[in-house]
Amino acid sequence: MKTKLIALSVFAATAVTVTFFPTIQHALANATQPPIIVDLDPVITPALAKIDKPKIEVVFVLDTTGSMSGLIDAAKEKIWSIASTMASAQNAPDIKMGLVAYRDRGDAYVTQSVSLSSDLDSMYAKLMDYQADGGGYSPESVNQALYEAVNNMPWSQDQNTYKIVFLVGDAPAHMDYQDDVKYPETIKVAKTKGIIINTIQAGQDSETTANWQQMASLANGDYFQVEQSGNAVAIVTPYDKKMAALSKELDDTRLYYGDREQKEKQANKLAATSKLHELASDESRARRAEFNTTASGKANFLGENELVDAIVNGDVELASINNEDLPESIQAMPTEEQAIFIQQKAEKRDNLEVEMKALAEKRNDYLKKQVEAEGGKKDSFDAKIFGSIQAQTKEKGLIYSADSIKY
């Protein structure tokens, strides 16, 4: 990349010289006259201009009451597919996700939240904890959950960011709680922030249908209905187990550096990763592996202050890091051995990523053939979410092809 930038700079300078050489030559030929001063505007080549990556921020507001077990299980399986679908835009976007789980007053909790972050592992680790319980088909604390999603998440101030809430549930909002901020007021705030709200109804309760449709209409979002089970595409492939195993090996190439506070944060991320490797299905781990090998998934895979990536990319020099800030596993090594160890990790990572991408491509081909054989799954949870994403992101400069959907 540096070579390309230098070449472009030389090309630009040469072009300027050729363009203005006659003027300069004329000035030198007329020595009796004052020299001609040529006022040149700086040349800016498009290749050197900084291009900001598009951004996606999505918060799932999820009903976790007793009747939602099927859709909660579907969410646990499909979050990584949704992330990979978002990542497949022509301009790979930065992706952040957050979560608001809700029930109702009198249940074990009313709401529990995971903040918007590029650390999808930590969000997923929390999602894995949720089991359907409490509540029922009666109204739930939808108003409070939606309020917290819109007002308490660290949404970007950038109006070019695609900001979306997926409200998922099977019961209408309680409109009789006097101290609630009702959803029409929250939606007004959402619109000022550029947040779209899509509503996904599980089941066919007519009161919920009317409620969910109104919310989507007020929020410039989409409404769609799925079966109580979620109706998500759930196909096991011959590649899942291998990808799940490789993803563990890939995660083990990570090394972190930093002060005590930074290491504590990194330890929490590693704990979340270990949890999903222990408890998540092979299929879910395969989907995560595919996402992590995309340009958009790099932030989730690496986290902050990842040493191997920082050294390879020249972001930091090994000698500039205090020994106590290095990973404990290499602190006792001489500097030369540390450098060799890091290089070995980098080479192993590169080889694993090549193998992983090849398997992901085979897995995607297999899934597409299976989906086509089953009629295209047009009414699936996956297809409906993709339809909303594809239509709503166009004005933000995100372009998805018809086959961008990931399963």
Burial class, 331, CB count within 10 angstroms (exposed 0-12 / middle 13-18 / buried 19+): exposed
| Alpha-helical segments (H) within 229-297 | 240-251, 260-279, 282-292
Q: Please tell me the pTM assigned to this model.
A: 0.84
Domain 56-233+377-396 has CATH 3.40.50.720: no
Count of beta carbons in the 10 Å neighbourhood of residue 52:
10
pLDDT in the model for residue 228: 87
Count of beta carbons in the 10 Å neighbourhood of residue 40:
9
* Assigned token pair, 251: 């995660």
SS3 content of the chain, % helix, strand, coil (to 5): 50, 10, 35
pLDDT in the model for residue 15: 37
pLDDT in the model for residue 19: 37
pLDDT in the model for residue 90: 87
Count of beta carbons in the 10 Å neighbourhood of residue 267:
11
Instruction: Reduce the DSSP state of residue 352 to 3 states and report it.
Output: helix
Taking the C-alpha atoms of residue 54 and residue 262, their distance in angstroms, rounded to an integer, is: 27
pLDDT in the model for residue 136: 62
Which residues have CB under 8 Å from 129's CB, separation 6+? none
pLDDT in the model for residue 231: 85
pLDDT in the model for residue 252: 97
Closest by CA position to 352, among listed 240, 247, 278: 247
**Domain ranges (residues) in the chain:** 2-48, 56-233+377-396, 240-367
Helices (H) and strands (E) in the chain, counts: 13, 6
247: number of CA atoms within 13 Å, CB side? 31
Q: What is the mean pLDDT of each run of 10 residues along the chain (407 residues)?
A: 36 35 37 36 38 90 94 92 95 96 95 97 95 83 98 96 97 94 98 97 94 97 91 93 98 96 94 96 97 96 96 95 96 96 97 97 96 89 93 93 91
Cα distances from 314 to residues 47, 152, 307, 308, 320, in angstroms, run 21, 37, 10, 10, 12
Exposure class string for 152-171: b at 16+ Cβ within 10 A, else e:
ebebbeeeebbbbbbbbbbb
